[in-house]
Structure 1
């Protein structure tokens, strides 16, 4: 006996009306990736706030710029979580290749630039 799922009660309903239900292991792995991006967002925002709140003896403009970059990356990470989850779930339901994580590059670039700024700040204090 096959179990029918009321796709209109699932969010986003439009997505769940597409294609066929994938192996639950793949959907659960996709959900874990979504949650990893959310944890990353929380960590990036917390790091940016801590960097600005703590007196680390760094040049204030370097410290503030690095903090803002980390917070900005923390704002982008949930966008990557949602867009990535949706696109991956759609690909799984359509039996298509998995999409790239397009927003991951700007997040990574912001973290690298913030780290370089902090390194410069530490080396020049």
Structure 2
């Protein structure tokens, strides 16, 4: 793929690269996943109610769905503390933290190339 520093040696290798990139992008599909990941980059961990306040346009139902999907994909870890009232915190996993470099690169590219 251009710009990766690695040469693609065959059509099969090129197809594999495309498949991997598409799989990575699918993990972040959804209107709110990037906003959630961004907030978790800024904070070590956040309670559900804190995420709701930081992303005020998201509905509670959608926030739950997006967090569950990110958790299922190994990007976010959920910790339920056995207290009353229940306290649940979310944080990025090592895999989730690994997205930071790629998202920063995408942000740099978008700021350079987007004219809108």
TM-score (norm 1): 0.30
Point out the structure with the larger helix share. Answer: 1
Larger Rg: 1
TM-score (norm 2): 0.32
Compare relative contact order (CA 8 Å, sep 6+) and give the higher one, 1 or 2.
1
